[in-house]
């Protein structure tokens, strides 16, 4: 952190900064960081106002999720707990954060706004919860002017589906309407579409975490994906984790076999530096990642007044 670096300053000659000056600079940096975090929380509260904080879904969808090997129960890490987590992770400009089981995406939004990470992605299995986030749409820069001044960046929410089927169908309908009006331009339009697809392929290297998605604001990007966490590393991959460095798994209700399988896939990804999991991952499935720490962080399903407040979060790092 800037503050830590500044505090180590010492005046070795007449040209160097004094200890008092360094301390003053550190105070300013610390105050700015605290202000940004407060703003991030305020913005998230405003953006998510009116959404279903319990993540309610239909009985039919509950059954579908259970059949897939997951669990429909919903709970999320409290924002003060998540703030402590990302501070522990020390996300920097080279970091890409991923929340597996992101629900309504609050943690992803906070990581994007409240840290220096270059990318934040959330993966959620429930289409209902994913669609709730779709309604949030674009967060206007006018709503975050003070944050923009502090961080010199904007925030835009990109919502992706693993199949993109519904969007493709809508696009096809639009194309059909256009065809009725411009029959003579069909071949030209198809050629143009092919060219555009080629261009998209060329831009894959610019995407933070998923092929075909360009950076939205400067060098920072936020993505929320409707997909199955079990499909990490599948062929073809439903979720690309090639650039991900830090992972949080809200996996308390997941079967142990799935937790171990996903942990094994994350361990095999050389870009992963740290994984935070609500469940222990079998040591037998890990080679690079080792259990290095256990944090106790507040969750939404707990009573803040209880003596044993805080759920263990197991930290695995290289």
For CA atoms 61, 62, 66, 69, the dihedral sign is positive
* Residue 15 is assigned to a structural domain of this protein: no
Tell me the per-residue pLDDT of 95-137, one tens digit each, with 9 for 90 and over: 999 999 888 788 888 888 888 899 998 888 777 766 777 666 5
* Residue 9 is assigned to a structural domain of this protein: no
Closest-CA residue to 253 (of 301, 285, 294, 306): 301
Tell me the per-residue pLDDT of 53-69, one tens digit each, with 9 for 90 and over: 555 556 665 566 555 55
Supply 272's token pair: 């992963």
Tell me the per-residue pLDDT of 162-172, one tens digit each, with 9 for 90 and over: 433 344 444 44
Closest-CA residue to 255 (of 69, 76, 18): 69
* Residue 18 is assigned to a structural domain of this protein: no
Number of domains making up the chain = 1
The pTM of this model reads 0.63
* Residue 246 is assigned to a structural domain of this protein: yes
Q: Which of 39-43, 52-56, 182-186 has the highest mean pLDDT?
A: 39-43
Interval 193-197 mean pLDDT: 49
Q: Domain range for residue 197?
A: 23-317
Residue 13 has pLDDT above 50, yes or no: no
* Residue 6 is assigned to a structural domain of this protein: no
* Residue 170 is assigned to a structural domain of this protein: yes
The values of phi and psi at residue 28, to 5°, are -65, -45
DSSP string, 89-109: HT--TT-EEEEET-TTSHHHH
3 state SS of 42 = helix
Q: What is the CATH number of the domain that holds 260?
A: 3.40.50.150
* Residue 4 is assigned to a structural domain of this protein: no
Determine the pLDDT at residue 186. Answer: 52
Q: Which of 67-76, 168-177, 197-206, 213-222 has the highest mean pLDDT?
A: 213-222
Determine the pLDDT at residue 1. Answer: 36
């Amino acid at each position: 952190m800037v503050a830590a670096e500044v505090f180590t300053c010492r005046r070795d000659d007449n040209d160097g900064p004094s200890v008092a000056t360094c301390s003053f600079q550190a105070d300013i940096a610390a105050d700015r960081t605290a202000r940004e975090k407060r703003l991030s929380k305020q913005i998230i509260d405003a953006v998510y106002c009116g959404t279903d904080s319990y993540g309610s879904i239909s009985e039919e969808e509950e059954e579908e999720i259970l059949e897939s090997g997951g669990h429909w129960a919903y709970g999320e890490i409290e924002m003060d707990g998540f703030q402590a987590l990302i501070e522990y992770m020390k996300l920097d400009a080279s970091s890409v954060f991923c929340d597996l089981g992101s629900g309504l995406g609050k943690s992803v939004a906070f990581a994007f706004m409240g840290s220096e990470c270059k990318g934040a992605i959330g993966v959620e299995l429930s289409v209902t919860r994913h669609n709730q986030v779709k309604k949030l749409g674009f967060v206007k820069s006018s709503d975050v002017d003070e944050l923009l001044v502090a961080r010199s960046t904007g925030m835009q929410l990109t919502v992706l589906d693993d199949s993109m089927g519904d969007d493709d169908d809508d696009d096809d309908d639009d194309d059909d309407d256009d065809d009725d009006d411009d029959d003579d331009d069909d071949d030209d339009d198809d050629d143009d579409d092919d060219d555009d697809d080629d261009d998209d392929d060329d831009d894959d290297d610019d995407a933070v975490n998923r092929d075909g998605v360009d950076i939205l604001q400067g060098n920072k990007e936020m993505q929320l994906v409707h997909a199955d966490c079990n499909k990490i590393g599948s062929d073809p991959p439903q979720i690309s984790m090639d650039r991900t460095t830090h992972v949080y798994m809200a996996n308390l209700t997941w079967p142990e076999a799935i937790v171990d399988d996903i942990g094994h896939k994350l361990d095999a990804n050389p870009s992963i530096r740290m994984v935070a999991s609500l469940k222990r991952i079998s040591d037998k499935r890990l080679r690079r990642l080792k259990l290095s720490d256990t944090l106790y962080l507040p969750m939404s399903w707990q009573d803040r007044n209880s003596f044993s407040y805080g759920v263990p979060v197991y930290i695995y790092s290289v």
